[in-house]
């Protein structure tokens, strides 16, 4: 299979992650190299990465804005759950510290 021809601003799914194409470059053989930002990496504080389309063309497909929004919502929810668990552990361990923070 040849894979997609992505362009800047496309939303793509690579394996199980949704990504936005920030830039498209061509390698020496004329193949696309995508600069993408994943939702996952935004939440991890990581910058964009480069994906060579020729390496795994069948793993890359176009996705929708709805797909991207669902992933953003999922990561936002998981971040809030994780932070709540951390703060609850602090409160259970040191009640005086949680009162000072509030």
Bridge partners of 49, per DSSP, are 36
Per-domain residue ranges of the chain: 11-101
Edge to edge, the sheet with strand 11-14 lists 49-52, 32-38, 17-26, 11-14, 60-62
- Given its phi and psi angles, is residue 80 left (phi above 0), alpha (psi -120 to 50 degrees) or beta? alpha
pLDDT digits (tens, 9 = 90+) for 25-77: 999 998 999 999 999 999 999 999 999 998 888 889 999 999 999 999 999 99
Please tell me the pTM assigned to this model.
0.79
């Amino acid at each position: 299979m040849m894979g997609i021809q992505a362009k800047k601003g496309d939303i793509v799914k690579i394996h199980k992650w949704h990504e936005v194409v920030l830039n498209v470059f061509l390698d020496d053989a004329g193949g696309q190299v995508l600069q993408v930002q994943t939702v996952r990496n935004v939440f991890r504080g990581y910058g964009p990465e480069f994906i060579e389309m020729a390496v795994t063309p069948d793993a890359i497909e176009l996705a929708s804005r709805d797909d991207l929004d669902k992933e953003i919502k999922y990561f936002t929810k998981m971040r809030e759950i994780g932070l709540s668990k951390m703060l609850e552990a602090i409160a259970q361990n040191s009640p005086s510290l949680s009162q000072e923070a509030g």
